[in-house]
Structure 1
Amino acid sequence: MCHIYFIGIIEIKERQTASFLSEKILQIIDSFNISISQIFSITCDNGANMLAAVKKLKEVYEYEQLCIRFDEEDIEEKEQEIDQNLFTEELNNKLKENLNLVRCAVHTPQLAILDVINKSNADVKKLTDVAKKSRSAKYKTYFECHKGHYPPLWGQTRWGGIYEMVSSFLQQRQFFEKLAEQFPEMDLSNNWKFIIDYEQAFKPLFLTTKEMQSPHVSLSDFYLKWIVAIQKIKAMNKNPFSESLVTTLTTRLAALRESQAFKMALYLDPRLNFAGSTLFTSDEKEEIQNYVVETWQRIRELKHSPTKCSENFQIQKMETENDMFITELFGGSTMNDAMSTESNFMQQLKALEVEIRRPFDFNVWNHWTERKGTHPELSAVAEVVLATPSNQVTVERAFSALALVLSNARSTLSEETLSNILLIKLNRSVFENIIPTLYDWKTNQEQADVQLN
């Protein structure tokens, strides 16, 4: 799988409201000549402004689809049915999930951690206080002489920050116990049980979070990693944090599964959807199958239709009239081939429920790539769904790269220049494969050698 990161940079000085963010997002994707109808999903954190911005973008998408479905003469009539910029209930319900919201799979476990233990916990406060104090000049000599390490200070934006601090204390327990003998204010005698229990309970989740920070983790891969972490924590039945942590992880996972993209990813994964699987009810399966069919229809329309809605409608209208004319002239039906293809597509889609279960380490991407010849429609949908990012770690890496590029010595770089630099920097592996094929390096090198000689 190859991902290309398009980078759009806009300096923002205004208040980041939902309307403002959605407007800027549309501005950025338009600069790359991308239509909102080409976007399958948006992965973001759980910030209220971002969630509301996605809702605004859905409204824009719905309006574009309204243009496609009705000609310009009907638009005004349909717009009269809109109440406060929302479309009729029937149309809204049909289109609202076509722009899928995916909540960051790395940010969500952090919220689950804070559901159980947050910064207001007495033990966390004590450990944070000791971690801060240890950096003062009073203890510097002791740390240097005994080769101690300062426990990391955590922040709200750092995933697993509290765990890293707690783990550091546990790894250096002997060091801090000796430190307390000389400096009583650093004593943690009443906190060691908390430290041991916390480190044990939250370690599986912390390691899972680290695994999910790979360049790309599909939604189904994330789901499997998450449920394995839950199982490991559940097995710690004597740990005081186990039950509450399992409960919040299970609840938040159920909420994430409400996403249309998430459901399709699980359904198209043979490690989860197989003969005898109880992951989905019969009603859920039917719902997901409809999602898959709708996604394939979107893919097909984008492949064969212009992006402008009015032109798209006129062409569709002309094709329909021409088909009707030929059918009336020579007979037959224009739908035979389409119906046959659609019937075969549905058979293959339903047949996924009776296939064998694949092992945990099965490569689902290769599985669908190899099926392009036999399952072209399903393969096309699977490639879109499996490419859906389960987290926004790449965005965080882009911010880090931006900090290296936009240094004090380069503070006057324009937005366009910054975007171009980051585009190359973040897609280095892609450019390394593309550039050697752009022209004949060998011939140019030979000519250069001749000129030098």
Structure 2
Amino acid sequence: MSKLLQEMQQDNFSNDEDIETDYAESNSIQSQIASVFSVVRCAAHTIQLAAYDVLKTIEGDIKECRNIVKILRTSVRSGNVEISLPCLDNATRWNSTYEMIKSIISIRDYIDNLSHINVNWIFVQNFLAAFHPIAKCTLKLQHDQYIIEDFFRDWLTCELELKKLVSTNSYAEALLNAMKKRKDTLMGNNAFIAALYMDPRFNFDNTPLLSYDQKQAAVDHLIRTRDMINKIGKPSEDQYGNSSPDLPTQSLPQDELPSTSKGIYDILTLHVNAMRNAQGPTPQRGEMAFKERLAKLCDREMESFDSNILDNFRKLYRNDADMLQLMEVVLAIPATQVLLKERSVHFQQY
């Protein structure tokens, strides 16, 4: 796809007299590409917002823990005590607060022997129990091959873990509510639900994870994305947005045909089959045919949540260029803004 964009850009700038017009068109193309790749906010930011929704309600308890850590760091250094130095958090990463409080409980035996420090251990234990699932989910965002659908899988898993704690942990209940609220924002983004729609772990026969309206919105987004791919990279398309297949211009070599035949039409049958194999899969024509193919994605069996979806999709649609290109754009949306920028920059360089 990057090669297609390169060809298009070369054509755009081939005439010096049209530089300004072509530059504006190029910017428009880049803007459309960005709209396809973006999911409003990256997953890392969304889950961080959910955590901050709860952290801001317990600022007093967190501040108390922070002051204790400062005292402990001074005490450990001055006393040359052989224990792990507790860590301080920072304002830009919520999970640094989780790590700070975890570092407190890791030296509880030492703290309990200090008469001048009084830790609210009930708060510490409940906080760690509630934020542990979301901390695990955040940690997975550091993986290089972590796509948005994997993130949503782990988001749902995090919700289930928090649900188990709700009856005994008020922080877990607050986190669960915050995540559900932020999830509504994610599910309102067409690029996000389009990625889920193509993933058989979320879109399958009678799925409870996507509503009818969400499926329709996803299909509309996928068709627009496919039109974008065609507009950028398929110059010889017909009015339906499909490339016209090349017809064979010469007969197959004579030595490919049998010299004798049991039936009068055997040679013709073999010849037509050879022509069919040579031309590859029959191209789908028209938007309706493509919509029907997308609709069939709802009839699949549910796949395991630990499946490698990208590899499975490439194998399943190895002979379907349209679906493969669509998968590369929609299904492989990265879960972090860093990876999204890397892919976008790489794409725009060609």
After TM superposition, is the score higher than 0.5?
Answer: yes
Q: Kindly indicate whether residue 316 of structure 2 is the aligned counterpart of residue 371 of structure 1.
A: yes
Instruction: Please name the residue that 2:271 is paired with.
Output: none
Alignment of 1:262-411 (within 5 A): 262-305=192-235, 340-394=285-339
Structure 1, residues 336-371: CA drift from partner, whole Å, max 9, x if none?
x98735443222211111111100111110122113
- What is the aligned counterpart of 2:73 among 116, 119, 135? 135
| 5+ residue gaps, structure 1 | 1-29, 43-96, 306-314, 321-336, 398-418, 424-453
Q: Give the alignment partner of residue 218 of structure 1, picking from 125, 147, 151.
A: 147
Which residue identity is paired with 2:188? E
Query: 98, 106, 118: which one pairs with 1:187?
Result: 118
Match of 2:163 in 1: 234
Q: Classify the secondary structure of the residue corresponding to 2:170.
A: coil
Instruction: Give the Å deviation of 1:284.
Output: 2.1
Contact residue 100 and residue 260 of structure 1 kept, 8 A = no
- Cα distance change, pair 278–374 in 1 and its aligned pair in 2 (3 A): farther
Residue matched to 2:189? 259
8 Å contact kept, 2:149–2:196? yes
Aligned mate of 1:170, from 98, 105, 110:
105
Cα deviation for residue 273 of structure 1 reads 0.4
Structure 2 CA distance for partners of 1:197 and 1:141, relative to 1, 3 Å: same
| Alignment correspondent of 2:91 | 156
How far apart, in 2, do the equivalents of 1:224 and 1:235 lie? 17
Contact residue 198 and residue 241 of structure 1 kept, 8 A: yes
- CA distances 1:29-75 after superposition (whole Å, capped 9, x unpaired): x9xx9755246665xxxxxxxxxxxxxxxxxxxxxxxxxxxxxxxxx
337-346 or 276-285: bigger deviation: 337-346
- Contact 2:334 2:340 survives alignment (8 Å): no
Distance 1:339 1:394, change over 3 A: closer
**Alignment TM-score, normalising by the size of structure 2:** 0.71
Percentage of pairs with the same residue: 26
Q: Which amino acid aligns with 1:176?
A: I
CA gap 1:119/1:240 in 2 versus in 1, 3 angstroms: closer
Alpha-carbon distance change, 173 to 34 in structure 1, aligned in 2, over 3 angstroms: farther
CA contact (8 A) 1:213 1:393 kept: no
| Deviation per residue, 1:228-250 (Å, 9 max, x gap) | 01100111121121211100001
Q: 1:339 to 1:382 in 2, by over 3 A?
A: closer
State the match for 1:200 in structure 2: 129
Distance 1:258 1:266, change over 3 A: same
Contact 1:260/1:288 (8 A) holds in 2: yes
- Name the structure, 1 or 2, with higher relative contact order (CA <8 Å, separation 6+): 2
State whether residues 204 and 297 of structure 2, in contact with CA within 8 Å, keep that contact through their aligned partners in structure 1: yes
- Distance in 1 between residues matched to 2:314 and 2:78, nearest whole Å: 60
CA distance in 1, matches of 2:224, 2:127: 45
Query: Aligned partner of 1:172: which letter?
Result: I
Q: Residues 245-301 of structure 1: CA distance to partner in whole angstroms, max 9, x if unpaired?
A: 100001101111222210111000001100110222222212211111111111011
Q: Given that residues 345 and 378 in structure 1 are in contact (C-alpha distance below 8 angstroms), is that contact kept between their aligned partners in structure 2?
A: no
| Count, aligned residues | 278
Structure 2 distance, partners of 1:303, 1:387, is 19
After superposition, the Cα gap between the structure-2 partners of 1:394 and 1:366, relative to the gap in structure 1 and judged at 3 Å, is closer
What do the CA deviations read for 1:115-168 (whole angstroms, capped 9, x no partner)? 1123862211111011122233x54243x33x2222211112124011001111
